[in-house]
Amino acid sequence: MTDYKEKFEKMKIAGNLAAKTLDMLTENIKEGISTDHIDKLGYEFIRDNGGYSAPLYYRGFTKSLCTSLNHVICHGIPSDRILQEGDAVNVDVTAIVDDHYGDTSRMFCIGKTPVKLNNLIDVTYESMMRAIKILKPGIKLGDIGYEIQSFAEEKGFSVVRDFCGHGISTTFHEPPNILHYGKKNTGMELRPGMTFTIEPMINSGRYDVKMLNDGWTAVTKDKSLSAQFEHTLGITENGYEIFTESAKGYSKPPYL
Ligand code: MF3
Ligand code: CO
Ligand code: CO
């Protein structure tokens, strides 16, 4: 059963471009630049490497990627906001190549960041990786949510409920929803050939969300800090394949 092989090859090309965009940004994100500058660099890099930025004009979004700072949970809109020492920003890149999508995000720290924020970022990354490592045919969607929720809550953090991972292939967002909380052995069973994202949003305080008037920016209602990482991946005959791995080994900060 390898009827999904071609889909996986194409998704790996799109995923690699999205990951390479974040690798490039790693060397450019620093104190004093604006989030609009990150957007411009990302837009140009994806265009110059044979792809399109999926967020641009997606459902009225006007930028090419998302920049979510500090207490912004997700879908932050790039602006003239200047990055300052102590900020942490999630940059979420989605590239389209040959009609296939690759969607990935990482956290970036500006200068020295508070210990609690660094801990939140570490726990968020590890919660995603713990969920990825159990992936194989036969496990259920609830098992993914359980891995993330049990680990994050044990560390004293909370899992955002209002946004989730998603199926992805030749469309940006498709079924199934991948919840980042849940119970073991519940929900749809995974099958070879499935492609989706895992993108936990973890808050240092409560999980409640507030939407800003721009219609996109989601922030923590209690103004606590929030972190997120995202990979696009596929289920194989006996495990999984990550399509958005960094070729430079940039997984989480600090990127040395
Ligand atoms: N990349 C986001 C995700 O992980 C979606 C961003 S939609 C946008 O699903 F319009 F805000 F860009
Ligand atoms: Co996504
Ligand atoms: Co994304």
pLDDT for residue 175 is more than 90: yes
Question: What's the rounded mean pLDDT across residues 213-230?
Answer: 98
| Residue 251 within a domain | no
Look at the chain and report how many structural domains it folds into.
1
At residue 217, the pLDDT reads: 99
| Residue 100 within a domain | yes
| Residue 216 within a domain | yes
pLDDT for residue 233 is more than 90: yes
Distance CA 58, CA 139 (A): 32
At residue 204, the pLDDT reads: 98
Contacts of 106 (CB under 8 A, 6+ apart): 22, 26, 90, 91, 229, 250, 251, 252, 253
Contacts of 99 (CB under 8 A, 6+ apart): 10, 170
CATH number, residue 191: 3.90.230.10
| Residue 112 within a domain | yes
At residue 215, the pLDDT reads: 98
Question: What's the rounded mean pLDDT across residues 132-155?
Answer: 99
Point out the ligand 1 atom lying closest to the alpha carbon of residue 172: 9
Question: What's the rounded mean pLDDT across residues 128-154?
Answer: 99
Least Cα distance to 191 among 235, 145, 225 occurs for 235
Residues above pLDDT 70, as percent of the chain? 99
Domain hosting residue 59, numbered range: 5-242
pTM reported for the whole predicted model: 0.98
Mean pLDDT (the chain, rounded): 98
Tell whether ligand 1 has an atom less than 6 A from the beta carbon of residue 92.
yes
- Among protein residues, the one with the nearest Cα to ligand 1's atom 2 is 92
| Residue 127 within a domain | yes
The residue whose CB lies within 8 Å of the most ligand 1 atoms, and thus the one to mutate among 62, 75, 163, is 75
- Summarised one tens digit per residue, pLDDT across range 99-136 is 999 999 999 999 999 999 999 999 999 999 999 999 99
Tell whether ligand 1 has an atom less than 6 A from the beta carbon of residue 39.
no
Tell whether ligand 1 has an atom less than 6 A from the beta carbon of residue 58.
yes
How would residue 256 be classed by pLDDT, with cut points 50, 70 and 90?
A: confident
| Residue 71 within a domain | yes
pLDDT for residue 1 is more than 90: no
| Residue 78 within a domain | yes
| Residue 255 within a domain | no
- Summarised one tens digit per residue, pLDDT across range 11-47 is 999 999 999 999 999 999 999 999 999 999 999 999 9
